[in-house]
Structure 1
Amino acid sequence: MFQAWNTELIPILYEDAVIVQERTAKYAKYAKKLRDLAQLHK
């Protein structure tokens, strides 16, 4: 029972983790652009 539940859940968790990582990467790039702009305007 637990094993079946485990194998069902792991791919879902993995996909979520990948999505979160991709979003984080996008936000990191965006944040870097903002920081660079802020440096230019000093």
Structure 2
Amino acid sequence: MNILFVGDIVGRPGRDLIQKGLRGLVEHHDIDCTIANAENSAAG
């Protein structure tokens, strides 16, 4: 099982980066589960 842990996603730049890059990263590395710390994603 491959697990991806993403550190702190901060504000719009963090959300944009995840939105643009997560799918490709998951497919490339055959990720089964992703866990993300997104408590600061709303306003930074």
Normalised TM-score (structure 1): 0.34
Task: From the two aligned structures, give the one with the greater helix fraction.
Answer: 1
From the CA coordinates, give the structure whose radius of gyration is larger.
Answer: 1
